[in-house]
Amino acid sequence: MNKEQASKKIESLIELLNQYGYEYYVLDNPTVPDSEYDQKLRELQQLEQDFPDLVMENSPTQRIGGAPLASFQKVTHNIPMLSLGNAFNEQDLRDFARRASNGTDQPISFVCELKIDGLAISLTYENGKFVRGATRGDGTIGEDITSNLKTIRSIPLSIKEEGTLEVRGEAYMPHKSFLALNEQREKNEEEPFANPRNAAAGSLRQLDPKIAAKRNLDIFLYGVGEWENSDLTSHSEHLARLKELGFKTNKEWKKCNTIEEVIDYVNYWTEHRNDLSYEIDGIVIKVDSLDQQDELGFTAKSPRWAIAYKFPAEEAMTTLRDIELSIGRTGVVTPTAILDPVRVAGTTVQRASLHNEDLIREQDIRIGDKVVIKKAGDIIPKVVRSVVEQRNGDEEGFHMPEECPACGNELVRLEEEVALRCINPNCPAQLMEGLIHFVSRNAMNIDGLGEKVIIQLFQENLVQTMADLYRLDKEELLQLERMAEKSVTNLLEAIEKSKENSLERLLFGLGIRFIGAKAAKTLAMEFETIENLQKATYEDILAIDEIGDKMADSIVQYFAEEKVTELLNSLRELGVQMEYKGPRKSEQATDSVFSGKTVVLTGKMEKFSRKEAKEIIESLGGTVTGSVSKKTDIVIAGEDAGSKLDKAEKLGIDVWSEQQLEDVVGK
């Protein structure tokens, strides 16, 4: 066989084997026996061995996993992968439906989907080729796990779609794969995985793809992040189209026209969840219309057009042996139950939250009690109640101390708060927790400064404040246990590099009450420098979208503290960046044609990529959305623009050509 013949044969075998694989792994409906598939695969492998330069990226032989990686590269999601707000009962669902209906003029329909208990991932295709797979991470930055995701056979390596398509879904481990994996681990005298979700996440974060390939993972695709050439108008159309393209979607989704239908769907799957061959931990409810999704928009943390209903938590009974107190970085004293180990919702629990003294008193929880625990949202263990009828008289009551267990300062209860607080700004427990937060991934992101290292540095009196981190001395560090030359050098380089971070990381790292990573980014973009934010009034801050009254009040109070001014002065003198490094509002032309306008891009563009066009419009003060609605101001239409262009013309929206965008850029 010559090279030309081999090339044609390889192409035909790949097409045939990929079709067989789609039928087996996606449709669960194989059309040929395994022996037929295996024979064709061996034939392909032999041809690829004989003609190695003819190996194609979409060949099924490329799923077995390449060489081990040194580490995972970071990936920035062009469109953030936001988490969803939670609903825990029927009233929460009705409240969600009411809020959604109040936010739009048209009748609303919903799509209900099973909430798969796995690892959220993103798959990016360029002109039909699978080019990148990433974890959700913090929603903005994830990790590139392309090699591991290629081992999941229900993920197509190529699709028939031009342009950029980024789809989102949940990678999971079926029950069958989970049981087989744990059996093997027990034979190897390894610790078994606690539940399928942990097993799936652990498998996809293996640096050696060959390990992931052996774990038999699967995936359901449930949404779209970016779709360059889509003219679809609803989420249900997205699901149907993804299935047509060869993606594996969950067949159990349902479109509901009323909240009563939603509740019926939720009740059915609450009862039948154990009939499935995979784990689910709830139901996701989304507004179906993409226009209405745009109208409803987002809060700082989650979309207003979707919610996750969490199943009632599994409960278990055990003995409460002791109550420990911990001091958080804001001074709140939190009691934690120390329990006899017990299995709940797939994991072994030994500690559970008691929240505050009022809860302990109201529920008459005593040390030595038999207690019922559950996992709130199937994640955080908490004590539900004590089992009074099983008391034997040896149980002991619990009372919160009057003084902070870490510093001896008097504990206080602030107005309208149930929690006790230590308000000593020099409390060592608060200082240490604040340092741990300051160096964390979403804050200053200092590699090598984990919790154990911070505790060690604090106990050795090398750091007491955030500024002290930038004063660390190499010779002092080398005297510490487990601190070698290379690790100390790497640590000091990471600390030095963190000085260059943009303002939003510093703001989040400071630990201002109520200010999360998203709010910190909003504040940094608005005020641009720490000095501007320090001078801002309550009214200035409250005027910003997504910043509420509690947040504004907290910011003003924080910057009024003398010790905060001293800390910021020290950080500035040590070279820490105090400015926002992203696109600035002050650089956006206020008289730009895009200023304050909502813009939609549609069709194929020749002179700009979709990402470039979006960045240009945003830099000129505009907002780019994915679908056309009455709130849209401009539609920029490239070649083969479809239903979005039609809708814009019907609504009388200003339609631009790509040339008009280029003219604006030129000016």
Place of tokens 């060489």: 67
- Give the chain's radius of gyration (CA, Å): 28
- 122: tokens are 């993103």
Read off the amino acid at residue 354: L
Task: Find, among 463, 468, 496, the residue nearest to 575 by Cα.
Answer: 496
Produce one character per residue of 137-167: b if its CB has 16 or more CB atoms within 10 Å, e if not: bebbbbbbbbbbbbbbbbbbbbbebebbbbb
Q: What is the DSSP letter of 191?
A: P
Residue 644: strand, helix, or coil? helix
Q: Phi and psi dihedrals of 44, rounded to 5? A: -65, -45
| Active-site entry in 9, 74, 115, 251 | 115
Alpha helices for 334-462 (secondary structure H): 357-362, 428-438, 451-459
Task: Find, among 664, 648, 625, 647, the residue nearest to 79 by Cα.
Answer: 625
- 115 assigned to active site: yes
Pairing of strands 218-227, 119-126: unpaired
DSSP run (H or E) holding 589: none
> Could you give the CA distance from residue 458 to residue 440 in angstroms, rounded to a whole number?
16
Q: Report how far Cα 415 is from the mean position of its chain's Cα atoms.
A: 34
Q: In sequence order, what are the residues at sequence separation of 6 or more whose Cβ sits closer than 8 angstroms to the Cβ of residue 207? A: 68, 69, 70, 71, 72
> Could you give the CA distance from residue 229 to residue 603 in angstroms, rounded to a whole number?
6
Catalogue the E-assigned strands of 80-159.
85-87, 110-116, 119-126, 129-135, 141-143
> Could you give the CA distance from residue 530 to residue 579 in angstroms, rounded to a whole number?
7
Surface-to-core class of residue 459, CB atoms within 10 Å of its CB (0-12 exposed, 13-18 middle, 19+ buried): exposed
> Could you give the CA distance from residue 519 to residue 508 in angstroms, rounded to a whole number?
8
> Could you give the CA distance from residue 391 to residue 386 in angstroms, rounded to a whole number?
9
Catalytic residue ranges: 115
